[in-house]
Amino acid sequence: MGTPDFAAASLKHLLDWGGCDVVGVYCQPDRPCGRGQICTPPPVKLLAMESRLPVFQPLNFKEQADVDQLAALEPDLLLVAAYGLILPRTVLEIPKLGAINVHASLLPEYRGAAPIQRAIMDGKPVTGITIMQMEAGLDTGDILLQRSRAIGIMDTAQSLHDELAEMGGKLLVDALEKMDQGRLVRIPQDHARATYAAKLSKEEGRIDWNRPVLDVHNRIRGLFPWPGSWFDWDGMPGKTLRLTVHPGTIGDPLPEGVHPGEIHGVADDSVLIACADRLYAVPVIKPANSKPLRGREFYCGYLSRCSGDHLLKPEPACPGE
């Protein structure tokens, strides 16, 4: 049971392993996608169809017919990864061995919908994968296996997602092998340490340049590529332009007389934008209703000048390290 790319990685590892029979694949219904709003099959469905597996796409499990359809498959176990639905008790009680979930955090930290993004935004040094026994609560079940992974200063939500997806698929297979051997140990979560990773909103992408540069950097890379990070720029006469930025690098301390939010020239091919304490070098900027531009392209085109080069060599490291 899963829907996006993250879940497709787990399904692929299961199929490559071959130690179980996948009797059915569940994912959310096809939904409109892209500018043309064309209904597009989710990644898990595409992989299941390529593998000639039966696919089921109930809107939810409120209809008894959907519950009965699952029961008719007589599953021993439900394997869940980023399904996007909270499974009711009537579903969790169907399989003989219950249900296990692949979750992209070190539970009990970051229960909920956006654990990868929230960990980066909070500046956490480590995250990982938890294989969890599911119960009726939101990510509250016993821990079966965990594996950690350091979060690098240049990791984005996309790069970390891709690595954790692969890690999750491998760890899921490890859990199934241990389960088959009777060596899987259930460890209750410490609920007092639980934190919650709420869904992301587009408004969270608004950049506050008055924050320290490391906070800005963490937020931008945690929200890349979706929903993206942006700010409203008043640098054009009589016009405010919304600019979306890609993750960049942390630069030099803030020069005297430069204020947060100001564009302070270019270094190499990146635009330098002032934060509360240091400059931030942005390699790509996308003006509203325009294509993405390299930093120097934006600086030359929208500020009508190509001077202002700095000798700054931004380093991809935390200040002071």
Annotated binding site for (6S)-5,6,7,8-tetrahydrofolate: 105-108
Going by their DSSP bridges, the two strands 278-282 and 229-236 should be labelled as unpaired
Whether a cis peptide bond, with omega within 30° of 0, leads into 75 is: no
Which has the closest alpha carbon to 171: 189, 147, 188, 151?
147
Instruction: Assess contact for 223 and 161: CB atoms under 8 A.
Output: no
- Please give the structure tokens belonging to residue 48: 């299941």
Burial bucket for residue 65 (CB in 10 Å: 0-12, 13-18, 19+) = exposed
Element at 92 (helix H, strand E): helix 89-92
148: closest CA among 119, 177, 121, 122? 119
Distances, alpha carbon 162 to alpha carbons 104, 203, 262, in Å: 11, 25, 34
- Round to whole Å and give the CA distance between 33 and 119: 27
Residues 6+ apart with CB under 8 A from 105: 111, 115, 116, 119, 127, 128, 130, 197
Would you list the DSSP string of 62-83? Answer: -SHHHHHHHHHT--S-EEEES-
**C-alpha to C-alpha distance for 233 and 246, rounded to whole angstroms:** 16
**Which residues have a Cβ under 8 Å from the Cβ of 290 and sit 6 or more positions away?**
none
DSSP per residue, 168-187: HHHHHHHHHHHHHTT----B
CB atoms within 10 A of CB 113: 16
Extract the annotated binding site. 105-108
